[in-house]
Structure 1
Amino acid sequence: MLRKLLIGVAVIATLVAGVGTARLVLPTDPTPGVVKQLTYLRAEIEAGADHAAQQQFPEGYFFLNALYGLTWVQVGLADPSRAVDATREARWALDRLKSPDGTAVFDASLRPKYGVFHAGWTNWLRAGLIALKQSDAAEIDEFTSASVELATAFRTARTPYLQAYPGQAWPVDSTVAIASLSAYDELVAPRFGATTARWVAAVKTKLDPGTGLMPHQATPETTGARGSSQSIIQRFLVEIDPAFARAQYETFRDRFVTRLGVREYPKGVGGPGDVDSGPLILGLSLSATVVTLGAAVVQHDPLAGRLARQGELLGLPLTGLTTKRYAFGLMPIGDAFLAWSRSARPLVAAEQPELEGGSGWWRVPWLVVLWLPALLLWSLVRFRRSRRRH
């Protein structure tokens, strides 16, 4: 019985190693898997997952719906045959962002209305709808009026970082909003170039002196750069100023990216986890690592392939005929961030030059970890068989 049990465990270890090896080395097309994730997410949202997420994160409801719509936009741009479906689903998500539930936690007295976080991400989703080329005149008019409101708020502010909540401002939120204005100039008509240029010039004077990157928080006090916000900043900055974005991305990669993932604080600096970073493991933030995958894609960085494959290996994906979920589906908002990152693509920016660093040797330690238990178990089976014959 012990021998049979040992053989069974060895077989299981071999199957796990084989599946893991396939995920590390075989070529993949992320789109089918992302569409399955979206099918799963739609059902979860309809069952109330966005309201449940709101109990866990300050913008849980908003983010789950926004990322669902934005991921469909990226799927539709990657595969034009899905553009009609993508437009329908993105409109559904946009309606939820504008609903009373979508605006409930934001302050309508701010300028822009509901604050730059809500206004910026919502306007970015509007830009995605226009990019799908299925929009009507009313949607273009709405995109125009919302963009004018954003641009006016930036022009009249004394800082490049607008408030998301009364008395609180995070540079990442203003980055998303300015990216939506750059998208308007490319998708509709040149109009906000001067506003964007002034914003970039102002940002360059307010970089974190410790890292040379944009700070994590600007109001009520300025704090140093952190991985959870930098990963999103690097995703959007390329849509605004590609040259500045590449310089910022290379600095971010040097200061925050490790072989195992993305740190919440710069290398050599420690700090606690919070609602933005999630729990930290050896200083690494899972949320920052997942979102950096998307930033690496838009920066044409081979790091994207490594992060995607490690995610497939460690994310415990469960794939059915029509759905796919990670971590056993325990955190739908985590699936939303991952789907958005796996399907990442620039909305209006040109493809960036490829960064160096495409060696595949990073796979070797993972392959050793995968196959060593199976090899040890089969060696033990063989040893016991030999001993029995002796």
Structure 2
Amino acid sequence: MLRKLLIGVAVIATLVAGVGTARLVLPRADPTRGVVKQLAFLRAELEGGADRAAQEQYPEGYFFLNVLYGLTWVQVGLTDPDRAVDAAGEARWVLDRLTSPAGTAPFTESLQPSYGVFYAGWTNWLRGGLVALNQSNAGDLDAFLSQSVEIATAFRTAKTPYLASYPGQAWPVDSVVAIASLRLYDSLVVPRFGQIARNWVTTVKTKLDPSTGLLPHQVAPSAVGARASSQGIIQRFLLDVDPTFARAQYEIFRDEFVTRVGVREYPKGSGGPGDVDSGPLVLGMSLSATVVAIGAAQVHHDPLADRLTREGELVGLPWTGLKTKRYLFGAVPIGDAFLAWSKSARPFVAGEQAKLAGGWFWWRAPWLVLLWLPPLLLWGLWRYGRRGRRRLRSRGP
């Protein structure tokens, strides 16, 4: 019985190692197909109330689960024009949910722009995505214009480049998304807000985190230095604001936060606790920051995106069915939403960027050792036991 159990465990370990090796080494299949399967899973989860459940765990859980679902569909539709009509329909469905009482409930309407820069920036980016799909109507364009004007006015009259998302609370990442939405309007409709975006970049360069030279994580009610959970999103959107500034910022981010095994929440040489933004930290690494960094790396044409994606396919316990795909057995839908959004990332305004160096093949070596060491040990034990039994038989009774 022990021998049969050992053989069974060894066979399973060998199969796991083989599948893992394939995910690390073989050419990746069409990523859009996998993302569409993730979207099918997320749609069912949203219809089942996953967004309301997420709101009980995260301050913007309802909003993020919906907006990322809509934006991922936009990215899929832009990558595969045959899906543009479906993508536009899903984006409108999400916008209806975001503008409903449930979508606006966590935010303060009296802020400028209305409901705060977090809400305004992300919803305006989604509106712009709908226009980018070439499936918009006059009402869509009017809404995109009116919200862009409101955002531009708020930046023009503010004393700081970092607007409030909640009363007395401001995170620079939210302002980056909002400014990017203005640049998207200029690229899709008619140039109108370019000077505001340029002035914003000029001012931001004087208000960077002095320790890293990056945009800070938070500025109100107190200043907090750069952290990866917001930098991943900043680097993703800043490219569509100012590509030159964005590339310089991204290279600093990569040097300060990216390691051989993932993305640190705090810069190298420093540390701190995990929180609702970073999630639990393992040896200083943030799973949420690592997932979002996939999208930032992808829009910057950094081979890091392929590496992090392959590692996610290895350790994220993906389960693919005929129509759906989920990670970690679907236990954290908002995590699936961030991952789908990151894997399908593409610039909306900027063109394709020059490829960054860093396609080091040997990053796979430690993973391959971890994969194959257990089955090799198990088969070695089985072979050792088999040789021992042969020696006993040869000695006779």
Question: Which bin holds the TM-score, normalised by the shorter protein?
Answer: over 0.9
Match of 2:300 in 1: 299
Match of 1:374 in 2: 375
- Per mean C-alpha deviation after superposition, the further-off stretch among 213-222 and 289-298 is 213-222
Match of 2:242 in 1: 241
Match of 2:173 in 1: 172
- Per mean C-alpha deviation after superposition, the further-off stretch among 374-383 and 309-318 is 374-383
Match of 2:27 in 1: 27
The residue type equivalent to 1:384 in the other structure is G
The residue type equivalent to 1:228 in the other structure is S
Match of 1:361 in 2: 362
Match of 1:57 in 2: 58
The residue type equivalent to 2:16 in the other structure is V
> Where does 1:5-44 land on structure 2 (aligned, <5 Å)?
5-28=5-28, 29-44=30-45
The residue type equivalent to 2:96 in the other structure is D
Match of 2:3 in 1: 3
C-alpha separation between the residues in 2 aligned to 1:151 and 1:248?
A: 24
CA offsets per residue over residues 34-92 of structure 1, 9 Å max, x none? Answer: 10100000000000000000000000000000000000001111111111111111111
The residue type equivalent to 2:354 in the other structure is P
C-alpha separation between the residues in 2 aligned to 1:49 and 1:155?
A: 38
Match of 1:184 in 2: 185
The residue type equivalent to 1:336 in the other structure is A
C-alpha separation between the residues in 1 aligned to 2:21 and 2:71?
A: 31
1:298 CA drift (Å) = 0.2
C-alpha separation between the residues in 2 aligned to 1:27 and 1:180?
A: 34
C-alpha separation between the residues in 2 aligned to 1:348 and 1:245?
A: 13
The residue type equivalent to 1:362 in the other structure is W
> Where does 1:315-326 land on structure 2 (aligned, <5 Å)?
315-326=316-327
RMSD: 0.6
1:341 CA drift (Å) = 0.3
Q: Which portions of structure 1, spanning 4 or more consecutive aligned residues, are displaced by more than 4 angstroms?
A: none
C-alpha separation between the residues in 2 aligned to 1:89 and 1:275?
A: 28
Structure 1 residue runs without a partner (length 5+): none
> Where does 1:336-347 land on structure 2 (aligned, <5 Å)?
336-347=337-348
Q: Report the secondary structure of 2:87's partner residue.
A: helix
1:387 CA drift (Å) = 1.0
Match of 1:222 in 2: 223
Percent of residue pairs bearing the same amino acid type: 75
C-alpha separation between the residues in 2 aligned to 1:335 and 1:315?
A: 10
C-alpha separation between the residues in 1 aligned to 2:129 and 2:349?
A: 10
Match of 2:395 in 1: none
> Where does 1:183-332 land on structure 2 (aligned, <5 Å)?
183-332=184-333
CA offsets per residue over residues 92-150 of structure 1, 9 Å max, x none? Answer: 11111111100001000001000000000000001110111110111011100100000
Q: Report the secondary structure of 1:354's partner residue.
A: coil
> Where does 1:69-80 land on structure 2 (aligned, <5 Å)?
69-80=70-81
C-alpha separation between the residues in 2 aligned to 1:358 and 1:264?
A: 23
Match of 1:130 in 2: 131
1:383 CA drift (Å) = 1.1
Q: Report the secondary structure of 2:361's partner residue.
A: coil
The residue type equivalent to 1:157 in the other structure is A
The residue type equivalent to 2:123 in the other structure is T
C-alpha separation between the residues in 1 aligned to 2:263 and 2:117?
A: 26
C-alpha separation between the residues in 2 aligned to 1:294 and 1:211?
A: 21
Pair 1:158-2:194 in alignment = no
Q: Report the secondary structure of 1:220's partner residue.
A: coil
The residue type equivalent to 1:30 in the other structure is P
C-alpha separation between the residues in 1 aligned to 2:302 and 2:79?
A: 18
1:382 CA drift (Å) = 1.1
C-alpha separation between the residues in 2 aligned to 1:348 and 1:198?
A: 18
Structure 2 residue runs without a partner (length 5+): 392-397
C-alpha separation between the residues in 2 aligned to 1:27 and 1:89?
A: 30
1:220 CA drift (Å) = 1.4
User: Which protein has the larger Cα radius of gyration, Structure 1 or Structure 2?
Assistant: 2
1:12 CA drift (Å) = 0.1
The residue type equivalent to 1:32 in the other structure is R
C-alpha separation between the residues in 1 aligned to 2:27 and 2:95?
A: 34
Q: Report the secondary structure of 1:305's partner residue.
A: helix
The residue type equivalent to 2:320 in the other structure is T
1:386 CA drift (Å) = 1.1
Q: Report the secondary structure of 1:130's partner residue.
A: helix
C-alpha separation between the residues in 2 aligned to 1:264 and 1:6?
A: 41
The residue type equivalent to 2:131 in the other structure is I
C-alpha separation between the residues in 1 aligned to 2:339 and 2:317?
A: 13
C-alpha separation between the residues in 1 aligned to 2:5 and 2:286?
A: 38
1:244 CA drift (Å) = 0.2
CA offsets per residue over residues 329-379 of structure 1, 9 Å max, x none? Answer: 110000000000011111121111000011211011101110111111111
The residue type equivalent to 2:240 in the other structure is E
Q: Report the secondary structure of 2:362's partner residue.
A: coil
CA offsets per residue over residues 2-44 of structure 1, 9 Å max, x none? Answer: 1111110000000000110111111122111110100000000
Q: Report the secondary structure of 2:382's partner residue.
A: helix
